[in-house]
Structure 1
Amino acid sequence: MLALGVGQKALAQAAATMTPHEKDLYEAARKEGGELTWYTAHSDDITAQALGRSFESMYPGLKVNVLRTTAQVAYQRVTQELRAHAVQCDVLSSTDIGHSVELKAKGAFEKYVPENASKVLDIYKGYDPDGYYFVTSAGMIGIGYNTGKVKEADVPKNWTDLLDPKWNNNIALGHPGFSGYVGTWALTLRNQYGWEFFEKLAKNNPRVGRSINDTVTMLNAGESAIAGSGPVGTLLESVQKGNPLAMVYPTDGTVLIIAPSSIMKGSKHLNAARLFMEFLMSERASQIWVDHFNETIRPEVSAPKGAKSAKDLKIIRPTVEQITKGVPEVIKQWRETFGV
């Protein structure tokens, strides 16, 4: 019997779509207080809120407190909470898989293997066979541009085109010290071209924000003509709203980001967190990702209309081991080279 306090009609409609396992978690979650706190760097705030509200509509009476921030800020926040023995975060979704490797090693995660973990696309399976973190989203990084400032014939076609002096003072970048997406992007291009690439890029005096999504904000504001680290999902969503932007998938490879989620040990809302992990790996969540121009992790959900899928592109990405070791190195090199 599902817990009372929500309209019987809403409960009946929700129960009809739940698996027996989900019903058990839902009942237990409502007894725990009916809420959870989600720290996420997986997306912009609009997409994160859409996921939170969708979960609430599927499970009446449960509430998701969504805190959208950059990966490094989320990581710092949970490490502070762990040191203080006062964990506020229930589910952590980072865009830096190195965070997951580190926190797992420190015993910071609750082991939980979602039923939906076996239903995602093969490329997103098996990153942690021990069951402490799972890939719950994926996105791509290419090159964006403001169509009012740059003609299509003149746009950079590959990453090394960003080094052309004609883009001096006109490139927007995120910061690897804040954004997990940018950290992986910078590491991928360091693997491909060496750090000399960034030393040359710095000579073009790019405008450096924090979040990778700041690059889209700068394009829309006309502050920059090119998004050198362009988040495909955020950029195409901005295009859909009528903004004069466009996307380039570089010929030398679009960067694919694999982003994991975990339940924090000490979670005060353990069953709600488990149910949320099931949701993040569900068809419903993948449809929301697609609606916001991100990659699907479920085979039942097709790529977003008007966007290219990772499976149809030349993709480049580092290994988990390279990310764990390399991103901290890249952050240090970045600060030395760009001075921020």
Structure 2
Amino acid sequence: MMRTSGLVRALAMAGTVSALSVCLAACGGGGSGADEGGGSGPATGGIKKVLAAAKKEGKVTWFIGSQKYTAEQQKKVGEAFEKEYGFPLEVTLNGRGAISAEFSKLVEESAAGVPPTIDLVNAGYSTLRVLRDSKNLTQTDWKDVGIPRDYVSADMPQAVYLFDQVRTPFYNTKLVSEADRPKTWDDLLDPKWKGKSVTATTPSIWSTISYSLGEERTRKLLRDLVQKQQMATLSTITAIPAAVSNGQYSIGIAAPIERNIARKEPLDYLQLDAKNVPIPNNVALLKDAPHPNAAAALVYFLSQTRAGQKVMFEVMGYSRGDVEGSASWDLYGEGRGTIPPYDWQVNDAVKLEEEFQKLLKQ
């Protein structure tokens, strides 16, 4: 059954982002630390000083992965920022390539003394750890910028929780009836779905699923989907929704589809017999970023204001499970999801991904 996009409903609600009630006058605090990081960070003394310095810098570049954004989309983020704060900010969403590979390049460039052209990076903890451990993230005092400690991990204080990585399966509502749609993960092994499901070659999809479903059950499920059900694999997660929406496949495992739903495409999420698992995606300031204040101001805007959450969803399709009424709230809020602890994300998940990668190639 098609549902209304969570964010579309949320945008009709009055008030600020739930649990965040942010006010510029309330922000202030101490200076920035230097533990496990490097490079000059944003101005200290609160968000007002950061905004003043950001106005002088005037631009920010955010490495966003392999997704490409049009000039119009990037301009929309800058315009939303200007409407909130009264001065223009040129926002570049840099889609230079796959995050893991590009992070390795950033480490190599830093070691060779090449100054960065990027200000912000984002990823899950396990991937961001590559930059943290090589001391390529700035140790920013995000509380001083105005971001509550609840959104900054004690295990990785360089990063701010920005949105959730959605890894929930979905289906084409024109090809799969309400009566026939899978109700459990094991239902995906019904012969009628043979050759009709698709995933990506990204093993983190399956490590994430395993946190709720269990490792052994996930191993067997993935093996059977590949070998018996002839599940197709695409090179990127972002390609899955289009392949299901256009009728090439009936079931997708697993990707965010909120923007597709908002465009009235025939897609909806499957609610199966295990809790959904959101993986927090975090944004951090690169060491020696050329525009540290503009970068910090953008992080504040996107993570702490209603306007920032709105434009982030509209342009990038990102939302956060703690924001009541958002797309991720529908999937993960109020106990509908279970979030893996930091240690699992940076240790267990990495080991499982190596195993699941091999299963996907069978």
Instruction: Give the TM-score taking structure 1 as reference length.
Output: 0.78
Aligned to 1:258: 280
Distance 1:297-1:143 versus aligned 2 partners, 3 A rule: closer
Say which SS state the counterpart of residue 64 (structure 1) adopts.
strand
The aligned runs of 1:181-192 (5 Å cut-off) are 184-185=208-209, 189=213, 191=215
Deviation at 1:142, TM superposition (A): 1.9
Aligned to 1:272: 294
Deviation at 1:53, TM superposition (A): 4.5
Say which SS state the counterpart of residue 141 (structure 1) adopts.
coil
Aligned to 1:249: 271
CA distance in 2, matches of 1:184, 1:78: 26
Aligned to 1:8: none
CA distance in 2, matches of 1:214, 1:271: 34
CA distance in 2, matches of 1:311, 1:97: 21
Name which of 31, 52, 66 aligns with 2:93: 66
Q: Does 1:75 align with 2:75?
A: no
Query: Conserved in 1, the CA contact under 8 Å of 2:167 and 2:253?
Result: no
Aligned to 2:120: 91
The aligned runs of 1:148-297 (5 Å cut-off) are 148-176=174-202, 184-185=208-209, 189=213, 191=215, 193-203=217-227, 204-231=229-256, 235-283=257-305, 284-289=307-312, 295-296=319-320
Deviation at 1:65, TM superposition (A): 0.9
Of 76-85 and 259-268, deviating more is 76-85
CA distance in 1, matches of 2:64, 2:359: 29
Deviation at 1:98, TM superposition (A): 0.8
Deviation at 1:272, TM superposition (A): 1.3
Say which SS state the counterpart of residue 55 (structure 1) adopts.
helix
Distance 1:307-1:175 versus aligned 2 partners, 3 A rule: same
Aligned to 2:33: none
Query: Conserved in 2, the CA contact under 8 Å of 1:190 and 1:197?
Result: no
Aligned residues: 311
Query: Conserved in 1, the CA contact under 8 Å of 2:197 and 2:250?
Result: yes
Deviation at 1:236, TM superposition (A): 2.7
Give a deviation string over 1:267-309, Cα, whole Å, max 9, x none: 11111122122223212323345668754466xx531389725
Distance 1:305-1:65 versus aligned 2 partners, 3 A rule: closer
Aligned to 2:34: none
The one-letter code matched in structure 2 to 1:277 is V
Give a deviation string over 1:99-134, Cα, whole Å, max 9, x none: 223322221111112243217xx5xx4523663112
CA distance in 2, matches of 1:169, 1:287: 37
The one-letter code matched in structure 2 to 1:285 is G
CA distance in 2, matches of 1:267, 1:309: 35
Structure 1: state its 5+ residue gaps: 1-16
Name which of 109, 113, 119 aligns with 2:137: 109
Query: Conserved in 1, the CA contact under 8 Å of 2:162 and 2:320?
Result: no
The aligned runs of 1:316-327 (5 Å cut-off) are 316-327=338-349
CA distance in 2, matches of 1:44, 1:297: 25
Give a deviation string over 1:3-45, Cα, whole Å, max 9, x none: xxxxxxxxxxxxxx9658334223323434x211101259995
Query: Conserved in 2, the CA contact under 8 Å of 1:187 and 1:326?
Result: no
Query: Conserved in 1, the CA contact under 8 Å of 2:207 and 2:353?
Result: yes
The one-letter code matched in structure 2 to 1:103 is L
Say which SS state the counterpart of residue 88 (structure 1) adopts.
coil
Distance 1:133-1:307 versus aligned 2 partners, 3 A rule: closer
CA distance in 2, matches of 1:53, 1:192: 48
CA distance in 1, matches of 2:270, 2:226: 21
Structure of greater relative contact order (alpha carbons < 8 Å, 6+ residues apart): 2
The one-letter code matched in structure 2 to 1:38 is W
The one-letter code matched in structure 1 to 2:60 is L
Say which SS state the counterpart of residue 109 (structure 1) adopts.
coil
Instruction: Give the TM-score taking structure 2 as reference length.
Output: 0.73
CA distance in 2, matches of 1:31, 1:316: 42
Give a deviation string over 1:240-261, Cα, whole Å, max 9, x none: 2121112222231112121111
Cα RMSD for the two superposed structures: 3.3
Give a deviation string over 1:188-216, Cα, whole Å, max 9, x none: 54537242222112122222123322110
CA distance in 1, matches of 2:69, 2:184: 29
Distance 1:313-1:166 versus aligned 2 partners, 3 A rule: farther
Deviation at 1:237, TM superposition (A): 1.9
Distance 1:48-1:208 versus aligned 2 partners, 3 A rule: farther
CA distance in 2, matches of 1:302, 1:43: 27
